Chain A
Amino acid sequence: MDTAVDEDATLMLAYAQGDLGAFEALYARHRGTLYRFLLRACRQPAVADELFQETWSRVIAARERYQPQAKFTTWLLQIAHNLLVDSYRRKRPTLDGEAGELAIAQMEAPAQEQPEHALSDFEQRRRLQRAIEQLPDEQRTAVLLRLEQELSLEEIADVTGVGRETVKSRLRYAMNKLREQLAE
């Protein structure tokens, strides 16, 4: 068990004992990555907000049942993934290409970027964002868990509930599509 897992589990157990500061530290560790995963997976800020809040509410509700048998991140992403699948099943309308581009354009760009490179980088990010959005749900989830959360194949398999080879196949297809989109 690595240090991070140890710390997450310790924080969660401390929160279950009533230590609110432990939860605040745990939340600060994972809020960004979890939110980006949900936002890029569902492609709708309002839905991402809803899923993010629901994920944490389930963590809070399950604090007394929590047992550190796995990485806290894996458990947290399992909850988020299940909520995400439910969201897919509800077939909510997603942003079309134009709205997606507008959402990307509204995202803040790093201020230190040079103007001559900024356009090129922005175009590259825009293409990558669009390519990720156009992936099938399962491939998009696998890519995001790999690139955003930096999970291993086994961990992605645990989170999504499929086999390791299935994850590997999904990632292979997805990354090929992304490269093709970026090369156009």
Chain B
Amino acid sequence: MNTHRPDDARSNDERLPGEDELGALYRKLPRKEPGPALDAAVLRAAAAAVRSGEPAAATLRPARRARWPVALGSAAILVLAAGLGWRMRDMPASTPPAQAGAVTVQEANAPAAAAPPAKPEAVGEIQADAQNAPPPPPAPPPAHLAADAVMAKRAAPAPSPNLQEQATAVPAAPMAAPVAGVPAAADRAAPVAAEQAPSFAAKSAQRVIEQRRPEPAAMAHSNAEAASGVTAARAMAPLAAPAPPPPIDTARDEHDTPTQELDKIRRLLAADRRDEARQRLADFHRDRPDYPLPDDLRTQLLTP
């Protein structure tokens, strides 16, 4: 606000040359007045301001944009973020940790699912491998693989039915043996394959681990395969009767299944504890005379 001026400022003011004549002529110009509509608008705004106690600008100018949508949107975003955070926090707890054995089996199934159906000679080679070489000590699965499996499961929490079908159908070749390897089976070859299946699976898993390490670019694809392998392993769990043997445990256990006992005998042989292995094999044959022995163990039993 300006400072107050003396009331006689205009009267004492300096007159400019010709100002009086110009002033006289100017006062003859038409004295234009604001229109009635303009008067009414101003007076209406003044009256509205007095009535409502609000600034008159609100009545003369367009109303400002309401701010409540911004506040509502912010609250909605906050609720959404909190919900997502809560859900993300719960996800690891709801996902059961992968078992060491399960990871091994699924890793064994993964290349089978990716590869074409097994060639006969390749299968035979692998079986021969399994017969000749001692079963590798079951190493604990690498931590990154377990993590990969969990990550893949998070990325694809619901594998499509096609993937599940593929995971169960393609590895049917190696896994069909355990299915057929029920003791009641008459076929002799089937139990042999049943005995070899765990070691085959372990070797395959080891190969897969070695193949995957230098190729980080293929991790995503492998993770997806691992995820489907987890699902396949779960789906086939009731069918695969023999569980993977405990690591380096050759002690006799009355609760062992025949397959587990035979596997322990094989480990004794691999550990060069031949006499003990032969004794255990003889005991096994005495206790279960009807159980068909695998060829390699039968050879051990018949050898003097």
Interface positions of A (Cβ within 8 A of B): 1-2, 5, 15, 18, 20, 23-24, 27, 31-32, 35-36, 39, 49, 52-54, 56-58, 60-61, 63, 67, 69-71, 74-75, 78, 104, 107-109, 121, 124-125, 128-129, 146-148, 150-155, 158, 168, 171-172, 175-176, 178-179, 182
Give Cα A60–Cα B12 distance, bound, in whole angstroms: 33
Closest to A106 in B: B30
Q: Which 3 A-B pairs have the closest CB atoms?
A: A60-B56, A2-B7, A107-B30
Q: Are A125 and B28 in contact (CB under 8 A)?
A: yes
Give Cα A2–Cα B49 distance, bound, in whole angstroms: 29
Given contacts A1-B7, A154-B13, A168-B16, 15 further A-B contacts (CB under 8 A): A24-B46, A32-B34, A35-B34, A49-B34, A49-B35, A53-B42, A57-B56, A61-B57, A67-B1, A69-B1, A147-B27, A151-B10, A153-B14, A178-B22, A179-B18
Q: Are A125 and B7 in contact (CB under 8 A)?
A: no
User: What number of A-B contacts does a CB cutoff of 8 Å give?
Assistant: 139
A102 to chain B, nearest CB (A): 14
Q: What chain A residues lie within 8 Å of B42 (beta carbons)? A: 27, 31, 52-53, 56-57
Q: What chain A residues lie within 8 Å of B10 (beta carbons)? A: 150-152, 155
Give Cα A47–Cα B183 distance, bound, in whole angstroms: 103
Closest to B10 in A: A152
A153 to chain B, nearest CB (A): 6
User: How does the 8 Å CB contact mask read for B233-254 relative to A, with 1 for contact and 0 for none?
Assistant: 0000000000000000000000
Q: Are B2 and A128 in contact (CB under 8 A)?
A: no
Q: Which of B5, B13, B28 touches A74 (beta carbons < 8 Å)?
A: B5
Give Cα A71–Cα B5 distance, bound, in whole angstroms: 7
B126 at the interface (CB under 8 A from A): no
Give Cα A36–Cα B27 distance, bound, in whole angstroms: 11
Q: Are B32 and A107 in contact (CB under 8 A)?
A: yes
B68 at the interface (CB under 8 A from A): no
Q: Which of B4, B23, B38, B46 touches A20 (beta carbons < 8 Å)?
A: B46
Give Cα A49–Cα B19 distance, bound, in whole angstroms: 29
Give Cα A129–Cα B10 distance, bound, in whole angstroms: 24
Q: Are A70 and B5 in contact (CB under 8 A)?
A: yes
Identify 10 residue pairs between A and B in the complex whose beta-carbon atoms are under 8 Å apart, listed by A's number. Answer: A27-B46, A39-B32, A60-B45, A60-B49, A60-B57, A108-B30, A128-B22, A154-B13, A155-B10, A176-B18
Q: What chain B residues lie within 8 Å of A78 (beta carbons)? A: 2
Known: A20-B46, A60-B55. A168 touches B14 (CB 8 A): yes
Q: Are A158 and B2 in contact (CB under 8 A)?
A: yes
Q: What chain B residues lie within 8 Å of A49 (beta carbons)? A: 34-35, 38
Q: Are A172 and B2 in contact (CB under 8 A)?
A: no
Q: Are B38 and A63 in contact (CB under 8 A)?
A: no
A5 to chain B, nearest CB (A): 7
Known: A53-B60, A179-B18. A152 touches B9 (CB 8 A): yes
Known: A60-B49, A124-B25. A175 touches B18 (CB 8 A): yes
User: How does the 8 Å CB contact mask read for B25-62 relative to A, with 1 for contact and 0 for none?
Assistant: 11111111111001101110111011000011100110
Q: What chain B residues lie within 8 Å of A154 (beta carbons)? A: 5, 9, 13
Q: Are B4 and A70 in contact (CB under 8 A)?
A: yes
Q: Are B3 and A69 in contact (CB under 8 A)?
A: yes
Q: What chain B residues lie within 8 Å of A24 (beta carbons)? A: 43, 46
Q: What chain B residues lie within 8 Å of A182 (beta carbons)? A: 25
Q: Which of B1, B7, B25 touches A128 (beta carbons < 8 Å)?
A: B25
Closest to A158 in B: B2
